[in-house]
Amino acid sequence: MTLFTFGETMGLVAADGIGPLTYAKGFSFGIGGAESNVAVGVARLGGEATWLGRVGPDATGALIAERLTAAGVRTLAITDESFTGLMVRHKRSAQFAQVDYHRAGSAGSRLSPADVPPAELTSAGVVHVTGITPALGETARAAVFQSIETANAAGVPVSVDVNYRSKLWNRFDAAPVLRDLVSRADVVFASPEEAALFVDADDLLGALAKLGPSEVIVKDGARGCRAQIDGERHELPVLPVTVVDPVGAGDAFVAGYLADRLTGATPAARLATAIAAGAFAVTVPGDCEGAPTRAELAALTGDDVHR
């Protein structure tokens, strides 16, 4: 029961401290990508996860393969002649973070249908994709839809995180593609704003479910989550934690849900794990560095000091 996912993972340059990038005193360098973040999250929770993607023949591409492998993810990194993409992130204020992408023409954006082996799709417990990859280019979009078609034909559940990125495409171009993506999925994750791009905002859960998925989860930040799973409605609040870095919380949430789904846990248990994983992730800086283990989740509501 393995998670299989694919997409672009990039190098991440993050400014230290808070304030305009102009005055940053130092920077850290890591990796980040929605799909690989989910793979790391599932692996940390004891599941099996495979990530596939293209990386450049450079130090950043090598770092991505090394970091993901070290995190317990089975990594299928295809070396491309183009460069590995980069993102630069800084916190303009305590409340607002800004991310700039340098990925046009990158190795990751050159993903194609031929890169994704059908055997990986048909043998997976869940195939997970996001709405980011279709925005990267025609071949990447074709890879997503062909992979979903293969998984659907084999009866393998497909998970989609809408993950709309306004810096990659505008809402008018994105909406019909994202709607099509969701209509082919079994499990869908979206924020209220993302879902409202292509369904009626009056009843997001019902409207998303009408498109076809049997499991619809709306991630609503500080308001927790709402879900409709096999016709039954659920609602969970967030756990109270001190927020250090909100980036990566959504991916940790998805990882928590899918990790439990792969083990056959009940819908209520999946959502509880998702909420706890997302809460833990925001207490640590970085995209996937804060992905928790099962033991850490169990300790989340316990004492602050563990001796």
302 within a domain of the structure (yes/no): no
- 216 assigned to some structural domain: yes
Residue 295 lies in a domain: no
pLDDT score for 276: 93
- Asked if residue 277 is part of any domain, the answer here is yes
Residue 234 pLDDT: 96
Q: Which of 186, 245, 251, 287 is catalytic?
A: 251
In a domain, 162, yes or no: yes
- 304 in a structural domain: no
Per-residue pLDDT at 302: 59
DSSP three-state, residue 270: helix
CATH code of residue 8: 3.40.1190.20
Distance from chain centroid for Cα 44:
15
Residue range(s) defining the domain that contains residue 184: 2-290
User: Would residue 202 count as lying in a domain?
Assistant: yes
Closest CA to 53 of 119, 125, 109, 135: 109
Does residue 251 have an active-site annotation? yes
- How many structural domains compose the chain? 1
Report how many helices (DSSP H) and strands (DSSP E) the chain contains, helices first. Answer: 10, 13
In terms of DSSP H, where are the helices of the chain? 34-44, 59-70, 118-122, 138-154, 171-183, 192-195, 204-210, 249-262, 267-281, 294-299
pLDDT of residue 289: 76
Mean pLDDT by 10 residues, the chain (307 residues): 96 89 89 96 97 98 97 97 94 81 95 98 98 97 98 98 95 97 98 95 94 96 92 92 77 97 97 93 76 86 48
**Does residue 296 fall inside a structural domain?**
no
